[in-house]
A and B are shown apart, each in its own frame.
Chain A
Amino acid sequence: MTEKNDFEPTIVGFTCNWCSYRAADLAGIARIKYPPNVRLVRLMCSGRLDPTFVMKAFAEGADAVMITGCHPGECHYLEQNYKALRRYLLLRRTLVAMGIEAERLHLAWASAAEGIQLAREITEMVERVRTLGPLNWHLNGSQPEVTNEAAGKKLQEIELEVTS
């Protein structure tokens, strides 16, 4: 890994086949630029997101994971993205408990028409993770840097942010 100041994070992004992957296609077609740090995995639906996929990505060296799907109410399988939302909230709790900053997992909705928005989400995510620095939790052993209290507060904020 490089020095923290010129650190380039590696991020795995999960997309659903119908909206967010198409948003990524659209960003391409419209030549909208975003940093090359995110590598996408296409699933049929965000509902397919098995929590182990996220864990696997972290275990294999991803500094962060992004989950994307259709907007609530627009999932092509009716409402499976709500299930993804629930899993996401749970996953963040788990990550915090494991000593991984909650910000390393991010959920974003993007419709097939929202190439610009998806590119912006990716750019912002990369920025955030650049500031966080590399994920080296396996080097630190299992000592969470975040206190339970701080983590709890953070999670409350996050839940408010995604559910509102």
Chain B
Amino acid sequence: MTKDNGGIPQEKIGVYVCHCGTNISATVDVEDVAQWAADKLEHRGVVIARDYKFMCSSLGQELIENDIRELRLTRVVVAACSPHLHEKTFRTACENAGLNPYLCELVSIREQVSWVHTDKVAATAKSKAVLSGGVERVLWHEPLEAMSVPIHPATLVVGGGIAGIQAALEIADAGHPVYLVEREPSIGGHMAQFDKTFPTLDCSACILTPKMVDAGVHPNITLMTWAEVEKVDGYVGNFDVTVRQKARKVITDLCTGCGICEEKCPKKVVDDVYEAGLAYRKAVYTPFPQAVPNYPVMDLKNCIYFDTGKCKACEKFCPTNAIDFEQEDELIGFQVGNIILATGYDMFDARKMSNYGYGRLENVFTSMEFERMCNASGPTEGNIVLRDGVSTPKAVGIIHCVGSRDKNYNEYCSSICCMQSLKFAHLVDERTGAQVYNFYIDIRTPGKGYDEFYNRIVEEGTHFVRGKVAEVTNAARLNGEKEKLIIQVEDTLIGKQRRIPVDMVILSAGLEPRHDAKDVAKLFGISCSADGWYIEKHPKLDPIATMTEGIYIAGCVQGPKDIPASVAQGAAASARVLGKIQQGEMKMEPIRASVIEAQCSGCRICNDLCPYNAILFHEDTMLSEINPALCQGCGTCVAACPAGAITGTGFSNEQVLAQIEGLLMSV
């Protein structure tokens, strides 16, 4: 669909071909391309075609700006690098010279031509084709205005781990309201389970608890624990959120957190969450003494009263009558302008690697079990002991990379397990004096103070065996193996098979996306990788934002990372949100679809296609309408409308069809 105008060009197009130093000009004859455009595309409206060493430099931009002013250009096509790099640069240049920025088209002859081809003749011909596509396309561009939407000053933070707490506190401290929604009875996340944190070995509770308390009492934070987001409608600036506050069966206004109900509850339940299965809690419980908030919740699945209709011990003993068996789930609705997701990670299930014997061999522990064991307020009061609860191990094997860097499970590196294993080696040494063996594939300690920590552990006398452990077994074959766990490994540094007998094995299980990560992603309309980690807007330049405007990610939800990185991301996400709140309104790319009413037949085919429910059907007029604030511009409805009634700004049928024609014009 070339814009035919009876041979008389209506637009005045400027074409700019970049050398990019020699990045382009070494493989593409850029002078020839520019000359060709001046000669052969003149009838399409090209009035000037230049080549220049660095189009993106300020001199290059000035060249374009001057031409726009002096030659009264109405369209600009730049043949240079990928639009993902410099589209904005050239659009801004146009805007500076008074041309609507959306009347500029950038075609890539670097990433898509000079860098990937070697034959100069073919690369030059392809550059001409690509340029011709750009020229045909730009003829159909329309001047566009960025859309502006108001930003509601409140923010929703989902997940009360260290990343979410940090984000909530930063925003609240800046004076804006925050809703912090946590699924468990208390905030704190994984960090609340640890005893010491690498590399400084400071006590986890000592640094975390004050932050938890701050978040709990902050006048700007509405804390909702034992709660989950059920529904999200709307778009950046104006999200409507519905939270399900699960029934605690405890009236929080009356509860003083005395803990008597928990003490009196006769039902013991294995605590799989906080205690990693190593200890019991009650059916009415607070997960740990420093929990924030400090009200208990009732676990209805395990409550004797809900099972048999008899008991109510908690109610009987509660001194303030705070137990309420009639309490129901509550749906709470509110509005926010931005959302930060900080839902963290799950642990890899070490049972899946049956050759390591977890769940089968008694004295094989997971890293989380070991964390709890080290914790002074944990099930063993900080004593490192075997499953029998009394014997101290004399030799301990720590296996790195369990479920990580393994094609059968997770191919990625879980990033924290080397450091966490070194931390364990230190704790075992310090508290038991046992021999410690670390079995590693590679030691990865790239953080601040991390390699120093590694050296310290080496000096403490920990043994390091390089090799992926084949098996952990209790089948003794050699002397000294009786009643031991034997670690079978190929020591790749000495090129020998070794069998190392130990009393305790700790599996440094990897980090995995939350089991429900995909459902949660769907709820918020963001995407996750095949693994399930949430995808950032840009892996390097924007690891905080997502592709959905107004939704940010922080902490391990984006990928495995340590506490400092999680905190940094929490703070970074809040800074982004604060910037948005500060502006009061924000500009949005005008790449949107819209329905041409006169053409819409009311067939409703488009209605269900939109992933953001942006298409509304008016029963009275029998017409579909697109909410431009909800539309993200994917263009699926445009392609699907049988009546051709939907246009996609920036990617209209005319633009694409013209580009195809241009691309295929014989050159």
Contact = CB atoms under 8 A, between A and B. Distances in A.
Interface of A: 8, 10, 12, 18, 21-22, 24-25, 27-29, 31-36, 39-45, 47-53, 56-57, 60-62, 71, 73-80, 83, 87, 111-112, 119
A61 B666 CA distance: 9
Contacts of A12: 660, 663-664
Contact of A119 (B116, B129, B518, B650): B116
B117 A36 contact: yes
Contact of A48 (B129, B133, B648, B663): B648
A52 B638 CA distance: 12
- Between A43, A44, A83, the greatest number of chain B beta carbons within 10 A of the residue's beta carbon is seen for A44
Contacts of B529: 74, 111
19 contacts: A24-B112, A28-B112, A32-B116, A33-B118, A41-B659, A43-B651, A45-B635, A47-B639, A49-B639, A50-B639, A53-B660, A57-B660, A71-B530, A74-B530, A76-B547, A76-B634, A77-B634, A77-B636, A78-B611
B476 interface: no
Contacts of A56: 657, 660-661
Contact of B83 (A32, A42, A60, A75): A42
B651 A77 contact: no
- Between B118, B119, B661, B663, the greatest number of chain A beta carbons within 10 A of the residue's beta carbon is seen for B663
B133 A41 contact: yes
Contact of B663 (A41, A73, A76): A41
A83 B609 CA distance: 9
Contacts of A29: 111, 115
Interface string B571-601: 0000000000000000000010000000000
B83 to A, nearest CB: 7
B635 A36 contact: no
Interface string B622-653: 00000000001111101110000000101101
Contact of B664 (A27, A28, A40, A61): A61
Nearest to A72: B530
B113 interface: yes
Nearest to A39: B663
B123 interface: yes
Given A47-B636, A57-B660, A83-B609, A28 B653 contact: no
B82 A25 contact: yes
B638 A62 contact: no
Contacts of A61: 664, 666
Given A41-B659, A60-B661, A78-B525, A31 B634 contact: no
A33 B129 CA distance: 19
- Between B123, B591, B636, the greatest number of chain A beta carbons within 10 A of the residue's beta carbon is seen for B636
B116 A31 contact: yes
B78 to A, nearest CB: 15
* A-B complex: 4 closest residue pairs judged by Cβ atoms: A28-B111, A48-B635, A47-B636, A77-B634
- Between B527, B612, B638, the greatest number of chain A beta carbons within 10 A of the residue's beta carbon is seen for B527
Given A44-B651, A74-B535, 13 more contacts: A12-B660, A12-B664, A29-B111, A33-B116, A34-B117, A36-B116, A36-B122, A43-B635, A44-B635, A50-B639, A62-B664, A77-B547, A77-B632
A110 to B, nearest CB: 13
Given A12-B663, A45-B634, A78-B525, A25 B133 contact: no
Contacts of A79: 611
A126 B49 CA distance: 32
Contacts of A78: 522, 525, 527, 611
B84 interface: yes
A41 B659 CA distance: 8
- Between A52, A73, A74, A76, the greatest number of chain B beta carbons within 10 A of the residue's beta carbon is seen for A76
B110 interface: yes
Contacts of B612: 77
Interface in B539-561: 539, 547
A41 B653 CA distance: 12
Contacts of A49: 639
B318 interface: no
- Between A12, A28, A60, A83, the greatest number of chain B beta carbons within 10 A of the residue's beta carbon is seen for A28
Nearest to B635: A48
Contacts of B113: 36
Contact of A52 (B82, B125, B650, B653): B653
Contacts of B634: 44-45, 47-48, 76-77, 80
A121 to B, nearest CB: 13
Nearest to A22: B84
Contacts of B664: 10, 12, 39, 57, 60-62
B130 interface: yes
Contacts of A83: 609, 636, 640
Given A49-B639, A53-B656, A77-B632, A44 B525 contact: no
B126 interface: yes
A48 to B, nearest CB: 3
Contacts of A41: 133, 656, 659-660, 663
Contact of A73 (B110, B133, B530, B651): B530
A159 to B, nearest CB: 21
Contacts of A62: 664
Given A36-B117, A52-B653, A57-B664, A44 B640 contact: no
Contacts of A76: 527, 535, 547, 634
Contacts of A22: 84
A79 to B, nearest CB: 6
Contacts of A34: 116-117
B639 A48 contact: yes
Nearest to B115: A28
Nearest to A51: B639
Nearest to A73: B530
Contacts of B609: 47, 80, 83
B636 A48 contact: yes
A28 B116 contact: yes
B115 A31 contact: yes
B660 A60 contact: yes
A18 to B, nearest CB: 7
B123 A36 contact: yes
B527 A39 contact: no
B651 A53 contact: no
B110 A28 contact: yes
Contact of B117 (A10, A18, A33, A51): A33
A126 B113 CA distance: 16
A12 B110 CA distance: 18
B542 to A, nearest CB: 13
A141 to B, nearest CB: 22
B82 A28 contact: yes
Contact of A36 (B119, B525, B656): B119
Contact of B635 (A31, A47, A51, A74): A47
- Between A24, A39, A42, A61, the greatest number of chain B beta carbons within 10 A of the residue's beta carbon is seen for A39
